[in-house]
Amino acid sequence: MHLSSLLLTALMLVLATSLFGQQPVNKHDWSNVKTLSSGPRITIRKRDGTKVSGNVETASDTAITVSANNGKILINRDDVRKMYIANSGGSKARSTAIGAGIGAAGGGGVAAMLLAATDGSDRTGNILGIGIAAGDGIGAAVGTDLGFGHKQTVIYEAK
């Protein structure tokens, strides 16, 4: 097996385990709400069809307090149908570009570490290029998928 093939395989394994090793968020778990610190902007769709938007004040096992335009509102957990958290600003293109840059740097770093561990190669430029390109592509995909293109993310949904 050529060193460049070994390098590309190692890079893909490292990046794949970091991407796919993450556990999905259980949107039916109220603990997602309890972990919110004071401040984030949320929108709550209540079971009666009304909507409340504001900033999180506190969250407990049984309720959440939101600071809205008309003051603080206590909403019982049983009254919540769905809750969203507002993502910070940005766009898919920006997130993709940031992901690509981070991925390229990471891919180049992994390639450089593998080259250093194997005492280099006559094709150092090619190997670094492969690492940077692979990291760039994976980083762009991750940036697009995890980016800020969506305005709100569901953090809780009643069963």
Contact 105, 143 (CB under 8 A): no
What fold characterizes domain 31-88?
A: SH3 type barrels. (2.30.30)
How many other C-beta atoms can be found within 10 angstroms of the C-beta atom of residue 110?
A: 20
User: Cβ distance 156 to 80 under 8 Å?
Assistant: yes
Length of the chain: 159
Q: Which residue intervals of the chain are DSSP H helices?
A: 3-20, 31-34, 92-117, 124-146
| Residues 40 and 58: beta-carbon distance below 8 Å | no
Domain ranges of the chain: 3-22+91-148, 31-88
Residue 132 CB coordination number (10 Å): 21
Tens of pLDDT, residue by residue over 141-159, are 777 776 655 577 889 999 8
Q: Which neighbouring-strand residues pair with 156?
A: 83
Q: How far is CA 30 from CA 2, 6, 49, 80, 119, in A?
A: 51, 44, 20, 10, 52
Which two tokens mark 21? Answer: 């090793």
pLDDT digits (tens, 9 = 90+) for 95-143: 778 888 888 888 888 888 888 888 877 787 788 888 888 888 887 777 7
Q: What is the pLDDT of residues 26-35, one digit of tens each?
A: 889 999 899 8
8: left (phi over 0), alpha (psi -120 to 50) or beta: alpha
Tokens 């280099």 map to which residue?
A: 120
CA–CA distance, 23 with 147 (Å, rounded to integer): 18
Band of pLDDT at residue 22, cut at 50, 70 and 90: very low
